[in-house]
Amino acid sequence: MKKIAAGLIIFIFIFPLLGEAHSPDETYIKIVKPKNGIYLMDRRIIPMVGQVVIGGVTVMADASEDITGVEFMVPPKVGCRPVVIYNDTSPPYFFYWNFSFDGLKDKGFVALKARGYKGKEYVAEDDIFLLRIFI
């Protein structure tokens, strides 16, 4: 039982620190924050598998060099097409998410999506699910 508990602790605290390697020729976008932890007022206070955000948080995406713009999106309360909440056209791609809109599903369990573009052409996307407690 102790070995299982030790393995679980290592998985919860070490696994989130491992990153993904990308080929230099690969077009990609990856949400890197908030990632793998509990965030309180934009600070990761506890590493873990999954994302919990309390208060405002800086959302950051890493992208390949050929990406020229990133849209950050969340789903609406009614319908299924994600809505752009922020658009960034120069790296590093990030914004401070400390707002909420009545028509969006941006509190509670949230699907956050980042879409990368080459000019006007959509070329890559990444999404994460998080628990967002907006205070």
Q: Where are the domains of the chain?
A: 2-133
* Cα torsion through 121, 122, 123, 129, rounded to 10: 170
| CATH superfamily of this structure's domain 2-133 | Immunoglobulins (2.60.40.10)
Asked whether residue 6 carries a pLDDT value surpassing 60, the answer given is: no
CA pair distance 29, 20, nearest whole angstrom: 11
Residues 10-58: pLDDT tens digits? Answer: 444 444 444 556 566 789 999 999 999 999 999 999 999 999 999 999 9
Contact in structure between 60 and 34 (CB atoms under 8 Å)? no
- Quick one: which of 67, 60, 56, 126 has its CA closest to 97? 56
Which pLDDT belongs to residue 79? 83
At 135, the pLDDT band (50, 70, 90 cuts) reads confident
7 pLDDT exceeds 80? Answer: no
pLDDT band at 1 (very low <50, low <70, confident <90, very high): low
First vs last Cα of the chain: how many Å apart?
Answer: 39
Mean pLDDT of the chain: 86
pLDDT in the model for residue 14: 46
pLDDT digits (tens, 9 = 90+) for 99-127: 998 899 999 999 999 999 998 899 999 99
Can you give the pLDDT at residue 17? 47
